[in-house]
Chains A and B, each alone.
Chain A
Amino acid sequence: MRQTFWTAVSVVVLGVLCLPGSSTAGEMNPAVLADHCAACHGTDGKSPGVIPSLRGKSSSYIVQYMKEFKTDERKGTVMNRLAKGLSDEQILAVAKRLAGE
C-alpha cells in the first residue's frame, strides 16, 4: 500500500516538475538548508548527543560522505534516504556552509 502511495506521489511530483514556472521563489539559501541539519546534528553542527557532529569537518569530507550515502556506497540509517533528496549542487552548498568556507 505504501509503495502504491509513493508511486502515486512520484507521478504527481514528476508531473509538477515538468510544468514550467512551478518554482515560485528565488535561489535556495544554503544557510537555511544547513540549519536543517541541526535538527539531528545540533546547532551549527555541534551535536550534544550520539549523532556525529559536523562542526570542524571540511566541505570535501561532508561532500564525500553525502555522495556515498546518495549512491548507497556507504550504509547509514536515515542519511541514505535524505541524501537522495539533495542535488549535487545543494550538497556542495550545504557542505561549504557547514564548514564555514
Chain B
Amino acid sequence: MAHMTRRAFTKFVGATGVLGPLGVAGFPAIAGAAQGRVVVIGGGFGGATCAKYLRRANPRLSVTLVEKTAQFITCPFSNTVLGGLRTLKSLTYGYARLRDRHRVKVIQDTAQAIDPAAHRVKLQGGTTLSYDRLVVSPGIDFQWGAVPGYDEAASQRLPHAWKAGPQTLLLRRQLEAMANGGVVIIAAPADPFRCPPGPYERASLVAHYLKTHKPRSKVLILDAKEKFSKQGLFMSAWAEVYPGMIEWRASNAGGKVVRVDVKEMSLETDLGKEKGAVINFIPPQSAGQIALRAGLANDKGWCPVHQQTFESTMHKDIHVIGDACIAGKMPKSGFAANNQAKVCAAAVAALLQGKAPGEALLLNTCYSLIGPHYGITVAGVYRPSDEGLVEVPGSGGVSPSNAPAEFRKREAEYAAGWYASIVSDIFA
C-alpha cells in the first residue's frame, strides 16, 4: 500500500470499503521510510528473482511484485511432464517465501497500463501503484493469427504448451490418448523465441515416452528455421537413442508451416500437407502484452534495453528483463532471465541511491534432456559491447560431441540439480 499515491489509495479504500487500522494518516509515514519504491511486473524467472534480489541489495527498498497467478508453473522442465518423468505439480511454486521471508509485497493482479511520465502502473483490479523505478518482466505472448489458421481457439485442439500449465496437460493427455503408430508433429518457430533448444528437447522426451509406450509412433519436427540450438548434439543423440523415430525438416525442405487446418489436423508447408495424430504448434512470439501496450517494444515486438542496466531505451526509469527484452546474443532462457534480474536489481538499487551501476557480466547455461539419463548443455559468459551482449571470446559453447555416456549422465543429473537450485534461488 505504501506504493499507492494518496489519490489512488483513497480511491482504493473507497472502492473496497476497507480501511486499515492506521487509516490514511499512517500512509505517508510508511512511504517515507523506504529509500525507493520499485514495482516489478511479472513473477516468473526474471521478475521473482529481481524482487528478491532488490530486497537483498537494499532492505530499505519498498518492492511490490505484481503477478496474475497465485501459483507459478515453470516452463523449464515442463517437457519432462510430456515425457512422463515428472508431474506438473512438482513444477509449481507459490510466493509465500518472497512475501514472508524477503518482505516483497505480492499483489495477485494483472498490470493493465503503464504511465511512464507519471510513474504509475494501473492494475486490472483497479489499484494504481506509483514507482520510482519499474521492472517489467512479462515473458512472452503469442502472435495469434501470424500463421493463418492458428489462433487462441486453435490452441485448444493443437496445443502450443509454450506456457506451462493447462496447455502442458492438454498435450500430455493427447499423447496418452494417441494410438500406437501415430505421428506427433512439433512445429517450431523462427528466431527469436522463448527457449531455443526447447522444441528439440520436447521432441526427445516425447520420443522417450513413445519408445516405451507406443514404439511404432514417430515425431516429425517442422521447423521455420534452417538450423537450431545444439543441433549437432541433438541429431546425433536422436540417431543413437531414438533411431528412425525423429525426423527434422528445415524451413527450406518443407519445414515452414504456412497454414494450419484445425479440422483436418494438418499443417500446410511449401511442399505440401502434413497430417498429425497430435500436433504441437509453437507459434511466433513477442514480448508480453503489457510491454507492447506500454510502448516498450520495437516494431518486431521485443524490448530494446541498455545492456548494463536493462533500462529501456524507450522509456526512462523502466527496466525490461527476461524473454521480453533484447539481450544481444543471450538466449531467451530461464537462466538468462535469472542472471539479468540480478544485474538489473543491483543497477536499480545503485541508481536509486545516486550511485553508478557496476559493469555487467552475465552467464547462461541451457540444459536439455535427451532422455532421463542423457543431458546436453550450451553455456556462455556475456559482456556488454557496442553490439549488445556478446560472448567473452574463448568461453562458452556446447557439450563435447565425443563425450562418453558417463558425461551425458552427469549432465542429466546436473540438469535436475540446476532446476532444484534455480527454483530455490527464485522462490525460496
Q: Which of A16, A47, A90 contacts B417 (CB 8 A)?
A: A47
Interface: B414 (CB within 8 A): yes
The answer to whether A36 touches B362 (Cβ under 8 A) is yes
Q: Mark out the residues of chain A between 82 and 101 whose CB falls within 8 Å of any chain B CB in the assembled complex.
A: 82-86, 90
Number of A residues contacting the other chain (C-beta, 8 Å)?
44
Q: How far is the CA of A47 from the CA of B379 in the complex (A)?
A: 19
**Does B391 sit at the interface, judged by CB under 8 A?**
yes
| A43 B428 Cβ-Cβ under 8 A | yes
- Say whether, besides A24-B384, A25-B359, A39 and B421 are in contact (CB < 8 Å): yes
Contacts of B392 in A (CB 8 A): 13, 84-86
Interface residue A40 (Cβ < 8 Å from any Cβ of B):
yes
B interface footprint on A33-49 (CB within 8 Å = 1, 0 otherwise) = 10110111111000111
Chain B residues contacting A77 (CB-CB under 8 Å) are: 377, 399, 407, 410-411, 414
User: In the assembled complex, how far is the CB of residue A98 from the closest CB belonging to chain B, in whole angstroms?
Assistant: 14
Q: Would A26 and B386 be within 8 Å (CB), given that A39-B365, A42-B421 are in contact?
A: no
B237 CB, min distance to chain A CBs, angstroms: 15
Which residues from B are CB-within-8-Å of A84? 381, 392, 394-396
Among the 9-residue stretches B113-121, B134-142, B264-272, B337-345, the one with 4 or more Cβ atoms under 8 Å from chain A is: B337-345
Are the C-beta atoms of B424 and A32 separated by less than 8 Å?
no
Contact with A along B122-164 (1 / 0, CB 8 A): 0000000000000000000000000000000000000000000
Q: A25 — which chain B residues lie within 8 A by C-beta?
A: 308-309, 356-360, 384
Neighbouring A residues of B393 by C-beta, 8 Å: 10, 13-14, 17
B346 within 8 Å of A (CB atoms): yes
- List which B220-256 residues lie within 8 A (CB) of chain A: 227, 231-232
Q: Specify the chain A residue showing the minimal Cβ separation from B424.
A: A48
B200 at interface, CB cutoff 8 A: no
CB-based contact A40/B422 at 8 Å = yes
Instruction: Kindly identify which residue among A9, A22, A43 contacts B425, using a CB–CB cutoff of 8 Å.
Output: A43
What does DSSP make chain B's interface, helix, strand, loop or mixed? mixed
**Smallest CB–CB gap between A81 and chain B, Å?**
4
Do B339 and A36 touch (CB < 8 A)?
A: yes
Per-residue CB contact flags for chain A residues 3-29 toward chain B (1 = under 8 Å, else 0) read: 000100110111011010011111111
Alpha-carbon gap, A81 to B391, bound state (A):
11
Q: Complex formed: what's the CA distance from A19 to B397 in Å?
A: 25
A29 to B417, alpha carbons, bound, how many Å? 26
State whether A78 touches B377 (Cβ < 8 A): yes
CA distance A101 to B120 in the complex (A): 41
B54 CB to closest chain A CB, in angstroms? Answer: 12
Which A residues are in CB contact (< 8 Å) with B397? 6, 81
Q: How far is the CB of A27 from chain B (nearest CB, A)?
A: 6
Select A36's contact among B363, B399, B411, B428, beta carbons within 8 Å: B363
A47 to B422, CA, bound (A): 9
Could you tell me the distance between the alpha carbons of A24 and B389 in the complex, rounded to whole angstroms?
Answer: 13
Contacts of B358 in A (CB 8 A): 25-29, 32
Assess A29 versus B346: contact at CB under 8 Å? Given A42-B424, A51-B421, A82-B381. Answer: yes
B308 x A24 contact (CB < 8 A): yes
Contacts A39-B365, A82-B396 given; indicate if A50 touches B416 (C-beta within 8 A).
yes
In the bound assembly, the distance between CA atoms of A24 and B359 in angstroms comes to 8
* A47 to B391 CA separation, bound complex (whole angstroms): 27
* Bound Cα distance from A84 to B232, whole angstroms: 22
Q: Which of A6, A26, A50, A90 contacts B414 (CB 8 A)?
A: A50
Counting chain B CB atoms within 10 Å of each CB, which of A84, A85, A86 scores highest? A85
- Please list the 6 inter-chain residue pairs (A to B) with the smallest Cβ-Cβ separation, ordered nearest first: A85-B381, A85-B395, A49-B420, A29-B358, A51-B417, A49-B417
26 A-B pairs whose Cβ atoms sit less than 8 Å apart in the complex: A1-B227, A9-B329, A9-B390, A9-B391, A13-B390, A17-B385, A22-B385, A29-B359, A31-B346, A33-B361, A36-B342, A36-B363, A38-B422, A38-B425, A39-B338, A40-B365, A40-B418, A43-B425, A48-B424, A50-B414, A84-B392, A85-B361, A85-B380, A86-B361, A86-B381, A86-B392
